[in-house]
Chains A and B, each alone.
Chain A
Amino acid sequence: MNNLPINPLSCATEGAGGPTGTWRSHRPVIDPAKCTGCLLCWIWCPEGVIAKEDRSINYDYCKGCGLCAKECPAHAITMIKEADHE
């Protein structure tokens, strides 16, 4: 019992549910030339892995749900099969 931390509280940390990027079968890829910066992908990404500033994607945790590609009004996001991605 003495080895327990004094304050046994969980801390907010990325990847609390594990390396969820490994769940992905397809990865979203953004074409910066088509992106209008409307930020809809940023607000709708369930995991918040799309950065507000530059729409870069954190593939460590992107689960590949495909919502961003489906909702992008400029069709700037494509879902590419992981195996085909170099």
Chain B
Amino acid sequence: MSDTIKNVKLADMPAYELVKAGTGGCAGCPSPMGLRIVGKALGPNSIMVMTPSCAVASIGVMPKSCYDVPVLNVCFASAGASAAGISMSLDAQLKNGALSGEKPTVFTWVGDGGTYDIGFQGISAAAERNDDFIHFCYNNEAYSNTGVQRSGATPKYAVTTTTPAGKESQKKNVPLLMLEQRIAYVATASLAYPLDFYRKVQKAKSIQGFKYIELHAPCGPGWKFASSDTVELARLAVKSGAWLLWEGEHGKLTLNAPTKQLAEGKMPCAELEEYLKLQGRFAHIMKSTEKAAAIEAMKSEIRREMDFMLGREKL
């Protein structure tokens, strides 16, 4: 807890709620939890674009919506193109006088499926064009909405309905690809560090051009853990090194606390096993005779990632 609540100024965060209580999301869902913080950082003058996901399924039934800003539900592959079009249209209307005042913040709220796999080309293209919007990927490491199928973000060894014996390949690293596209701003965030996330969203809002923020979003039904453990899982992911916190501007990388201290060896990593044992999707590993080898392989992958990012930070 200590490093989470250190210097807390939660009181400064606005009372504004982007998400109205009584959503269709599961108990303990990370999506409305993350969106509430996004809303506090961006404010009501925003336009949200969503692709098929739990965040769409949570909206509720017409004529009610749980989201306080205009929401467009677009097809799975088109988050990048749709948000870019809306942003350009607003620019045009502001230019010709059809609109006046501050430009609404256009942002997407898309899962890892709509970012890593199905939506990837549209997002990569928007990044390359430097279109003016924020892309949020809430990464729950699977297609949880459709029944927990594997995605490009599912970590190795994790059980999903399409990897019943555990995934065999490593996950992609899309935030790193975004860093290497040298976009205006890219950041990774965690629900266990709400002030860090809030700061990153505020920073993204202040920058013109393409911004990418990826929020690690532990999913209870997908990963098979108790609804009360969402934040605990997010915290253990960061403290064990399974999720790294960093940000980058135009290709210049900065590691954030506590990832920096963990990577530099100034603070010991939490035991990876503490993180894995809370999740049913790794239960087959924990019961297996190959448990020690699998955990060692995961740890060496984390070490490789940390060493890579420490080196990348020097560029």
Contact = CB atoms under 8 A, between A and B. Distances in A.
Nearest to A69: B228
A20 B228 contact: no
A47 interface: yes
A42 B191 CA distance: 13
Contacts of B229: 67, 70
A82 interface: no
Max chain B CB contacts within 10 Å: which of A20, A52, A61, A65?
A: A65
A53 to B, nearest CB: 8
B230 interface: yes
A4 B228 CA distance: 42
A39 B228 contact: no
Nearest to A62: B21
Given A48-B32, A73-B5, A13 B20 contact: yes
B11 to A, nearest CB: 6
Interface in B49-78: 58-68
A17 B24 contact: yes
A86 interface: no
A49 B33 CA distance: 11
B119 to A, nearest CB: 24
Interface of A: 5, 8-21, 23, 38-40, 42-49, 52-53, 58, 60-61, 63-67, 69-71, 73
16 contacts: A10-B60, A10-B63, A10-B64, A12-B20, A15-B64, A16-B64, A16-B66, A17-B25, A17-B58, A17-B60, A43-B37, A46-B28, A60-B21, A63-B26, A63-B227, A65-B227
